[in-house]
Amino acid sequence: MANPRIRTLTWWRKWAKRDWAIAAVGFTIILFALTLLFDSRNPDLNSTDDLVPLTFLHRAKATGAFCLDGSLPAYHFQKGFGSGSNSWVLHIEGGGWCNSIESCNYRKRTALGSSNYMDQLVQFSGILSRHPSQNPDFYNWNKVKIRYCDGASLAGHPESEFKNGTKLFFRGQLIWEAFTDELLSLGLSNAKQALLSGCSAGGLATLIHCDDFRDHLPKDATVKCLADAGFFLDEPDILGQRTMRAFYHDVVQLQGTAKSLHKNCVGRMEPSKCFFPQEIVKNVRTPLFIVNPAYDFWQIQHILVPDASDPHGYWSRCRLNIQNCNSSQIETLQGFRNSLLKALSELQQNEEVGMFINSCFIHCQTLMAETWHSPRINNKVRNVFIIYYGDKMIVFRIYHDSQNKKF
């Protein structure tokens, strides 16, 4: 059988521009319809039993692991049961980054910079769902949602804090270490299986801390990492400017994240380049899975077509809805997609790395029930993807009727 990763990438290359545009629009419509159908047929999925309370990381105070505003970091924890009692799935929340004193000061007045603004109860869904019909592999595992409140993918260092009255805490690395210590004390230290995952900036944090997570767990435990919509590209925008590279440079300089990045990388290139996943994954030893849309709408709106690159609003409708793109814009989007596939192709020979890349116009898919595990329609299952966590690398399958077809 052909390598599943290579087959997936080859399959996408066969699509014509018109095909992927139609598919992306169609997926958006189908996703909306599935959401309505899914909720109407599963009212129990919105029950209060799914609401998981916020837990403050009280141990963090002793180590100075504070959110941007100095408040305590927090998480949501749901204890596993039965066959999942010794298995863990952690998910790191996403939410971008702050790259300046001004943006970090704004951020500290939100739930992405202060636990004072976080919801006391959140609903677990997708990869964190407790429902076996929607999350058959992880429903009874110990599940943790790590809230994101440092603005640097849990990689900032206090040595970079300003002492001029700004009252900003750059403690991302300390937050990560405090989370690790607390969860180990709750039973993670005895894990037989563990999956570290994250979405967006949380996906980047997953890549940064993947090996450290592995190193804290028993040697005989099966440990893997999953980055969802966290493979951010170092690509020029439509004006040829390296907007994302400049942004990451400011984040790294402001919060001192270089100390959390691999020494081999920062020793041979500018540290901000090492903040890009394409460089990070070169040094990750732990089995890794990448879930990413080829047309990630966040990256299209902030890397390919940031506001400053489109002063006359030529892209204003297209960057928000792919259905509004003209042929020239679609060609540009196709080029961005090809850049992603090229970057990922470098990983194809690594047997410890797997990936699922689709052509959806979306950002983050593992926390939504509709894109994690689709419902039955007329007794036919239409799964976008499911992860099977076994002895070997995660395998993706798509079911049609009673058939089981591997990719």
CB of 330 closer than 8 Å to CB of 25: no
In 14-80, DSSP assigns E strands to 51-56, 74-78
CB of 207 closer than 8 Å to CB of 284: yes
Q: Is 363 a catalytic residue?
A: yes
* Alpha-carbon span 9 to 241, nearest angstrom: 28
Parallel/antiparallel/unpaired status of strands 288-293 and 353-358: parallel
354 SS3 class: strand
Place of tokens 């110990």: 142
**Which amino acid makes up residue 356?**
F
* Alpha-carbon span 306 to 36, nearest angstrom: 32
Residue in 302, 363, 373, 374 annotated catalytic: 363
Residue in 200, 260, 359, 374 annotated catalytic: 200
- CA dist 209 → 249, 320, 335, 366, 385 (Å): 20, 32, 31, 19, 25
* Alpha-carbon span 147 to 136, nearest angstrom: 24
* Alpha-carbon span 234 to 339, nearest angstrom: 9
Q: Which of 69, 150, 76 is nearest to 108 (CA)?
A: 69
Instruction: Give the tokens for residue 4.
Output: 């599943």
- CA dist 9 → 234, 348, 400 (Å): 20, 10, 21
The neighbour count for residue 117, using CB atoms within 10 Å, is 15
Q: Find the distance separating the first CA and the last CA of the chain, reported in whole Å.
A: 9
Residue in 137, 296, 373, 374 annotated catalytic: 296
* Alpha-carbon span 336 to 55, nearest angstrom: 40
**What number of residues does the chain have?**
407
Q: Is 220 a catalytic residue?
A: no
Q: For the chain, what is the largest distance between any 2 Cα atoms, rounded to a whole number of angstroms? A: 65
Catalytic residue numbers, as ranges: 200, 296, 363
